Amino acid sequence: MNEFDWHAERAGLSQFDRSTEGDGIDHVAVRAWRQGRVRAEMAARGIDAVILSDPVNIRYATGTRNMQVFSSRNTPSRYLVMTADRAILFEFTGCEHLAAGFETVDEVRPASTASFVAAGPEIARRERVWAREMAGLLAELTGGPGAKVGIERLNAGVVLALAAEGIQLVDAQEPVEMARSVKSTEELKCVVASLRATEVAVGRLREAIRPGLTEAELWSVLHQSVIAQNADYVETRLLSAGERTNPWFQEAGDKVIGPNELVALDTDVVGVHGYYADFSRTFHAGPAMPTPSQRELYKLAHEQVHHNIGIIRPGLSFRDYAQRAWDIPERYHANRYYLSAHGCGMTGEYPYLYHHGDFPNAGYDGEIVPGMVLCVESYIGAQDGSEGVKLEQQLVVTETGTELLSRFPFEAALLA
């Protein structure tokens, strides 16, 4: 896509019709697929019930959302108990009405917050009461005591109290992550809608770049645009300029963007329909043309991303991917991005695909399968260098190969 095509297309993308009812998506079908995936993974592991407290996983399993950032810290203040045929949502105080109309929720009950903030010195007693009541419910739902129950993100005291009730506790991460790793055709429409809205926002950010602006001021352009299009939130503040682009992972601050500096961005947008729009771009602040060294960094990052996209296919093992992945030049190895690629859905998720050199210590094996959405990463910055380049593309694995989902163009001046 050339620059003319991109600006012409933006005229259509900038219509803010991004509500959860828009985009021609059958959300009932999306919710049914996701809940069915969780239940299938539970059954495959003999898990009788799960207690989900991660707000992203609750949304995945039911479609309901409520104060996701707040409830991710204040656990358990909102949680879901799900078995093979029953889903009971324990909603935050005064919020029971928010789940009305969701066919994925059989019953809504008020949650009991078992946290120190809520209970103070009574926390131990509150945790025991919470566990006793939960054990009774689980026995009722599963037909007796001793159920195998998957849990996540509960206070240590709550977990100990549940175990004392005779419940067989296992980690819910594996079944939920495996469920989330494969998307349906209808679910992919949610992914694409989130990407298109985020691309509008990145286009506005790109147009706003100028020397004299702070990183935070520039990052706010992205934030304002995605929120105006009904996104949920931006998970990180990964925008930096000039010398702060190397090493990576420096968050937007009050640094003033200087003339002719590189400006690097990782979107990390939890966007419309709750889906992650995750691609990275690096820009040039101008007014002069990029330097040869800036272009070299950019071309290497571009080469890494496209080489690694080119080797992805269904049936490829994670180990084989690592062996075939782009070989990072020694000068840039120390500051490499920690992953070669990762799964993507409502957030970054399973699987993690590692660089060849990191696989022996960090990697694990598995299989790339159709329906996986992957983000292919590159960061190129020398350990003794002054700047770095971050690029990333989001794609879906098909029956025959891959299909690119992120469409924001690369910078012609940095590829020249």
Q: Is residue 44 located within the same domain as residue 124?
A: yes
- 179, 205, 237 — which closes off a domain? 179
pLDDT the model gives residue 69: 86
- 179, 203, 218 — which closes off a domain? 179
Q: Compute CA distances 410 → 7, 18, 128, 247, whole Å.
A: 13, 25, 56, 21
Q: Is residue 146 located within the same domain as residue 256?
A: no
4 inside domain: no
Q: Give dist(CA 228, CA 238) in Å, integer.
A: 20
Domain that holds residue 397: 185-415
The DSSP line for 139-194 is HHHHTSSS-EEEE-S--HHHHHHHHHTT-EEEESHHHHHHHHTS--HHHHHHHHHH
pTM summary value: 0.92
Q: Is residue 368 located within the same domain as residue 249?
A: yes
46: which 2 tokens?
Answer: 């003999």
pLDDT the model gives residue 74: 78
- 123, 152, 179 — which closes off a domain? 179
Q: Is residue 313 located within the same domain as residue 164?
A: no
Number of domains present in the structure of the chain: 2
Within 13 Å of residue 89, how many CA atoms lie on the same side as its CB? Answer: 29
8 inside domain: no
6 inside domain: no
Q: Is residue 195 located within the same domain as residue 248?
A: yes
Q: Compute CA distances 351 → 79, 178, 374, whole Å.
A: 25, 9, 8
Q: Is residue 115 located within the same domain as residue 205?
A: no
Q: What is the CATH number of the domain that holds 292?
A: 3.90.230.10
CB atoms inside a 10 Å sphere around CB 344:
25
Q: Is residue 130 located within the same domain as residue 275?
A: no
Q: Is residue 169 located within the same domain as residue 218?
A: no
CB atoms inside a 10 Å sphere around CB 173:
15
Q: What single DSSP character describes residue 315?
A: T
Mean pLDDT by 10 residues, the chain (416 residues): 34 36 83 98 98 96 92 86 98 92 96 86 93 96 92 92 95 98 97 97 97 98 96 96 98 98 98 97 98 98 98 98 97 97 97 96 97 98 97 98 98 97
Q: Is residue 173 located within the same domain as residue 321?
A: no
Q: Give dist(CA 120, CA 186) in Å, integer.
A: 45
12 inside domain: no
Q: Is residue 69 located within the same domain as residue 207?
A: no
Q: Is residue 122 located within the same domain as residue 251?
A: no
Helix orientation angle between 173-180 and 55-62, rounded to the nearest 10 degrees: 50
Helix orientation angle between 123-142 and 156-164, rounded to the nearest 10 degrees: 50
pLDDT the model gives residue 22: 55
Prior bond of 314 cis (ω within 30°) = no
367 inside domain: yes
Q: Is residue 136 located within the same domain as residue 50?
A: yes
Give which of 304, 313, 259, 319 is closest to 285, Cα–Cα. 259
pLDDT the model gives residue 113: 85
398: which 2 tokens?
Answer: 């098909």
Q: Give dist(CA 3, CA 416) in Å, integer.
A: 14
34: which 2 tokens?
Answer: 């996701």
Instruction: List the end-to-end C-alpha distance of the chain, in Å, as a whole number.
Output: 16
18 inside domain: no
Q: What is the CATH number of the domain that holds 73?
A: 3.40.350.10
Tokens 């820009």: give the residue: 283
Q: Please check whether residue 263 is in contact with residue 285, taking contact to mean a CB–CB distance below 8 angstroms.
A: yes
Q: Give dist(CA 182, CA 56) in Å, integer.
A: 16
130 inside domain: yes
Give which of 203, 202, 270 is closest to 230, Cα–Cα. 270
